[in-house]
């Protein structure tokens, strides 16, 4: 019992320590280059929290990050490293816009369902390819999803230029395909935070129910923990690999739909893969695979992402600083062995002191 309690404490302490160490690392780096870290962090946080508009924008970013993070997390639970979240998100984005532009006159509920459904399917297929290749040929999903990322990037740009538009940007989707919620936008001084936020909260709950209350979710976790034992217990490892990758890609695709229909209202050619896909991986790792942890990590990274925009003007610090802090945080989450070691040492000293009394 004692150990489980300890694990629960660690599960909270590790992300918190990682975040602290990540920010400290960023501060040291800024000091080294002659910037003022306090000014920079202040600019970042005040920029977001002093303005309803930028708080809305941070939540808008957190929405998409939540989907990307949950998508990565479910595959990770099953033992797979889906680096293709960015590509699957892009596939979902283009599919949603494609449907929304092709059927502009449908009623809103139907059109949104169809567009988001298409995005989910597109993302699921894109990830499912990697899942199927892994299940039937043992091909590394890490490399396959990375290659599919670049394939998605070039294909999407091709579709935009040759099918959806004549230039590099498509037309905007109609009112009935927009995820904009009037009162929410009013509340945040016309920020782009949208219906996706509520969808994200619902999906977080569904994800939790699926993973902890349903047999299918249990099988996914079991296969991730010990594929041999699960196979022996009669679960199909192949089926679970493909299932978890389909859900993973579907969630990423849904994030793409929200990016398209909520944030931008269109799609444009990309010079690189959307960074929100890779930050989704970071969010999932920081949240330690827990859906609620992922949601809060997404909000933190949403604030970092949007707040970073204030650093160049107000503190003279390049906004890449936020990405460096994010990478540093994930470094410490990954290397949590040293944090555990540190915590154990502190505890050991305590017990020694207590024993001495």
Only one of the segments 113-121, 177-185, 258-266, 279-287 lies at the binding site for other proteins (rule: CB under 8 A); that segment is 279-287
Residue 143 in the binding site for other proteins (CB under 8 A): yes
Whole-angstrom Cα distance, residue 298 to residue 280?
A: 8
Whole-angstrom Cα distance, residue 354 to residue 357?
A: 5
Residue 46 in the binding site for other proteins (CB under 8 A): no
Whole-angstrom Cα distance, residue 256 to residue 65?
A: 10
Only one of the segments 8-16, 146-154, 223-231, 236-244 lies at the binding site for other proteins (rule: CB under 8 A); that segment is 146-154
Residue 13 in the binding site for other proteins (CB under 8 A): no
Residue 225 in the binding site for other proteins (CB under 8 A): no
Within 10 Å of residue 137's Cβ, how many Cβ atoms? 8
DSSP state of 268: B
Tokens linked to 255: 């994030």
Bridge partners of 169? 268
Half-sphere exposure of 146 (CA within 13 A, CB side): 5
**Is 51 strand, coil or helix?**
coil
Contact 245, 127 (CB under 8 A): yes
Distances in Å between the Cα of 96 and the Cα atoms of 36, 90, 189, 339 are: 43, 10, 26, 43
Per residue, what are the HEC states of 133-181?
HHHHHCCCHHHHHHHHHHHHHHHHHHHHHHHHCCCCECCCCCHHHCCCC
The residue within the footprint of other proteins, chosen from 337, 351, 353, 354 (CB under 8 A), is 337
Whole-angstrom Cα distance, residue 79 to residue 103?
A: 39
Helix and strand tally (H, E) in the chain? 16, 0
Instruction: Report the residue number, 32 or 183, with the smaller CB distance to other proteins.
Output: 32
Residue 133 in the binding site for other proteins (CB under 8 A): yes
Residue 330 in the binding site for other proteins (CB under 8 A): yes
Residue 147 in the binding site for other proteins (CB under 8 A): yes
Residue 166 in the binding site for other proteins (CB under 8 A): no
Instruction: Report the residue number, 86 or 203, with the smaller CB distance to other proteins.
Output: 86
Whole-angstrom Cα distance, residue 239 to residue 247?
A: 12
Tokens linked to 69: 């993070």
The residue within the footprint of other proteins, chosen from 151, 169, 236, 269 (CB under 8 A), is 151
- CA angle, residues 61, 66, 68, in degrees to nearest 5: 95
Instruction: Report the residue number, 92 or 280, with the smaller CB distance to other proteins.
Output: 280
The residue within the footprint of other proteins, chosen from 9, 102, 113, 154 (CB under 8 A), is 154
Residue 21 in the binding site for other proteins (CB under 8 A): no
Instruction: Report the residue number, 251 or 273, with the smaller CB distance to other proteins.
Output: 273
Tokens linked to 135: 């299940």
H/E element, 12: helix 2-32
Give the nearest distance from C-beta 331 to other proteins in angstroms.
5
Residue 144 in the binding site for other proteins (CB under 8 A): yes
Give the nearest distance from C-beta 52 to other proteins in angstroms.
29
The residue within the footprint of other proteins, chosen from 146, 195, 299, 343 (CB under 8 A), is 146
Instruction: Report the residue number, 191 or 279, with the smaller CB distance to other proteins.
Output: 279
The residue within the footprint of other proteins, chosen from 5, 7, 33, 107 (CB under 8 A), is 33
Tokens linked to 233: 């217990």
Size of the site for other proteins (CB under 8 A): 42
Within 71-100, the residues that bind other proteins by CB under 8 A are 81, 83
Contact 279, 305 (CB under 8 A): yes
Residue 351 in the binding site for other proteins (CB under 8 A): no
Residue 122 in the binding site for other proteins (CB under 8 A): no
The residue within the footprint of other proteins, chosen from 9, 28, 110, 158 (CB under 8 A), is 158
Instruction: Report the residue number, 213 or 271, with the smaller CB distance to other proteins.
Output: 271
Q: Which residues are near other proteins by CB under 8 A? A: 33, 81, 83, 133, 137-140, 142-144, 146-151, 154-155, 158, 271-272, 278, 281-282, 285, 318, 320-321, 323-324, 326-328, 330-331, 333-338
């Amino acid at each position: 019992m004692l150990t489980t309690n300890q694990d629960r404490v660690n599960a909270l302490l590790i992300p918190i320590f990682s975040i602290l160490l990540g920010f400290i690392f960023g501060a040291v780096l800024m000091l080294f280059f002659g910037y003022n870290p306090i000014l920079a962090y202040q600019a970042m946080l005040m920029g977001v929290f002093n303005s309803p508009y930028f708080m809305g924008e941070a939540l808008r970013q957190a929405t998409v990050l939540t989907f990307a993070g949950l998508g990565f997390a479910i595959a990770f639970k099953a033992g797979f490293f889906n680096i293709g979240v960015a590509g699957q998100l892009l596939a979902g984005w283009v599919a949603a816009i494609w449907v929304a532009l092709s059927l502009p006159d449908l009623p809103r509920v139907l059109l949104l369902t169809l567009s988001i459904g298409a995005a989910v399917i597109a993302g699921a297929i894109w990830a499912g390819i990697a899942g199927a290749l892994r299940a039937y040929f043992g091909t590394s999903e890490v490399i396959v999803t990375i290659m599919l990322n670049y394939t998605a990037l070039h294909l999407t740009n091709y579709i935009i230029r040759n099918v959806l538009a004549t230039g590099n940007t498509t037309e905007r989707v109609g009112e009935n395909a927009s995820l904009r919620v009037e009162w929410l936008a009013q509340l945040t001084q016309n920020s782009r935070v949208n219906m996706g936020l509520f969808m994200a909260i619902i999906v977080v709950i569904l994800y939790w129910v699926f993973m902890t209350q349903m047999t299918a979710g249990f099988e996914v976790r079991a296969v991730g923990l010990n594929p041999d034992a699960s196979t022996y217990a009669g679960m199909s490892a192949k089926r679970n690999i493909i299932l978890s990758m389909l859900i993973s890609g579907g969630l990423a695709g849904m994030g793409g739909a929200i990016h398209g229909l909520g944030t931008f209202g269109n799609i444009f050619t990309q010079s690189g893969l959307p960074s929100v896909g890779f930050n989704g991986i970071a969010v999932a790792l920081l949240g330690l695979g827990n859906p609620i942890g992922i949601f809060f990590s997404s909000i933190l990274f949403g604030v970092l992402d949007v707040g970073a925009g204030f650093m160049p003007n107000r503190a003279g610090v390049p906004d890449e600083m936020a990405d460096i802090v994010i990478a540093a945080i994930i470094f410490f989450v990954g290397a949590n062995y040293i944090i555990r070691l540190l915590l154990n040492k502190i505890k050991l000293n305590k017990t020694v002191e207590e024993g001495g009394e």
